[in-house]
Amino acid sequence: MNLLANRPAAKLNGLGNAIVVIDLRGTDVSVSAAHARAIAGSKELSFDQLMVLHEPRTPGADAFVAIYNRDGSQAGTCGNGARCAAFILARGEKREKIILETWAARLECLRKSEAVFTIDMGRPRFRWNEIPLRQPFYDTRRIELQIGPIDAPILHTPSAVNMGNPHAIFWVGDIGAYDLSKIGPMLENHPVFPERANISLARILSREHIALRVWERGAGLTAACGSAACAVVVAAARLDLTSRKAIVSLPGGDLDIEWGESNDHVLMTGPVEFEFETRLDPALFEDIAAA
The identity of residue 77, as a single letter, is: T
For residue 88, the model assigns a pLDDT of 96
Whether residues 152 and 97 fall in one domain:
no
131, part of any domain: no
Catalytic residue chosen out of the listed positions 84, 109, 225, 230: 225
Whether residues 12 and 69 fall in one domain:
yes
Query: To 5 degrees, how large is the angle CA 128–CA 130–CA 131?
Result: 70
Residue 110's CB: how many other CB atoms inside 10 A? 15
The identity of residue 226, as a single letter, is: G
Contact 73, 33 (CB under 8 A): yes
Whether residues 224 and 249 fall in one domain:
yes
Concatenated DSSP letters of 110-138:
EEEETTEEEEE----B-STTTTT-SS--S
Whether residues 254 and 214 fall in one domain:
yes
For residue 50, the model assigns a pLDDT of 97
Whether residues 180 and 257 fall in one domain:
yes
Phi-psi region of 39 (alpha: psi -120 to 50; beta: other; left: phi over 0): alpha
Whether residues 204 and 245 fall in one domain:
yes
> Is 225 a catalytic site residue?
yes
Query: To 5 degrees, how large is the angle CA 172–CA 173–CA 175?
Result: 70
Whether residues 77 and 166 fall in one domain:
no
- Residues of the domain holding 17: 8-118+273-285
What is the full per-residue pLDDT of the chain (291 aa) written as tens digits?
688 989 999 999 999 999 999 999 999 999 999 999 999 999 899 999 999 999 999 999 999 999 999 999 999 999 999 999 999 999 988 889 999 999 888 999 999 998 999 999 999 999 999 999 999 999 999 999 998 888 889 999 999 999 999 999 999 999 999 999 999 999 999 999 999 999 999 999 999 999 999 999 999 999 999 999 999 999 999 999 999 999 999 999 999 999 999 999 999 999 999 999 999 999 998 877 654
Domain count, the chain: 2
Whether residues 79 and 181 fall in one domain:
no
Residue 39 Cα to chain centre, angstroms:
18
78, part of any domain: yes
CATH number at residue 66: 3.10.310.10
Catalytic residue chosen out of the listed positions 78, 84, 109, 230: 78
Whether the model clears a pTM of 0.95, i.e. scores above it, the answer is: no
Whether residues 94 and 33 fall in one domain:
yes
129, part of any domain: no
> Is 230 a catalytic site residue?
no
